[in-house]
Amino acid sequence: MTCKIVTIVGARPQFIKAAAVSREILKHAGKIEEVMVHTGQHYDPNMSQVFFDELEIPAPRYNLEVSGGGHGAMTGRMLEGIERILVDEKPDWVLVYGDTNSTLAGALTAAKLHIPVSHVEAGLRSFNMRMPEEINRILADRVSTLLLCPTKIAVENLAVEGIVQGVHNVGDVMYDVALYYRERAKEQSKILQAHGLSEKSFALATCHRAENTDDAARLEGIVSALAEIAREMPVVLPLHPRTRKLLQQFGLEHHLAALTVVDPLPFLDMVALEQAAQVILTDSGGVQKEAFFYKVPCITMRDETEWVETIESGWNRLVGASREMIINAFKSLNDGSERSAVQPYGLGNSSELILKKLGF
């Protein structure tokens, strides 16, 4: 008898994680059918057929095209669309990833239809309830049957909240992804040549979180610091359209003149840049970890991080959005003698362990 899994994703990082698990699912052809649903939460012009070809996965069977609007309107429209699909498809499992509105909508709809939920990246906590992501991940964990944690600390976070049933440390699926695409990106991407960059001679920066982009003072602290760093080495900034729009709105666009600004990049190009950078400055959870996997020093422009292991290992520094702290962190990058070689995110076989916990 075939087991049907409906995978619900809504943002590019979730597709990348889901691709690793989908590849593992394909090894069980005939036993598992996967139906992928894209809520449409994050519109990304780079998520074309080329994106799915790079990831070696088929495009989603369903696209709800729910993007824009407030959290309530967006999540409500997702609940309505996902419910229709789940009633029609009648899956044995619903698989959700991470901490977006799509994660919450998928988990909540499935739970109300009494369909078991498996949450990949369960147990992560920033302990900042002002972040919508924190609310989403806590609520998704509460209604999940299988809580697939990426780290020992995530398991401990759940235990503190009284959640111990169905909890498993399977390692981080992003480590599977990093290992799988590392050499492929080096071989196939031409992004360094296109921008005249050489290995370990530039900084890579990303900035997209609402806590930074929606606050003019924080955004100015970040972009002015990047412009200062660019006096010492090129700073490559793949710029999200929303961030560009807010820079214009706040009158901060002049800082971009010092930077190498590029459009959001295809997946393999981003991996190639991450590996080749001398330092990465980011407010992205995924990019923090990728920096750690590729052993590139990272400066995280946030007030807290869910990935505390990267801080404890010495590979990541948390600096907030202060211009002075960002610049000081950059200037104090040393020979790395205090950085440890720990690997708290598993062995790169998380996808296999996830399938085992699902019964395969």
Catalytically active residues, by annotation: 208
Check if the beta carbon of residue 20 is closer than 8 Å to that of residue 350: yes
The alpha carbon of 199 is separated from its chain's Cα centroid by a whole number of angstroms, namely 24
Query: Which residues, at least 6 apart from 19, have a Cβ–Cβ distance to it below 8 Å?
Result: 55, 56, 57, 177
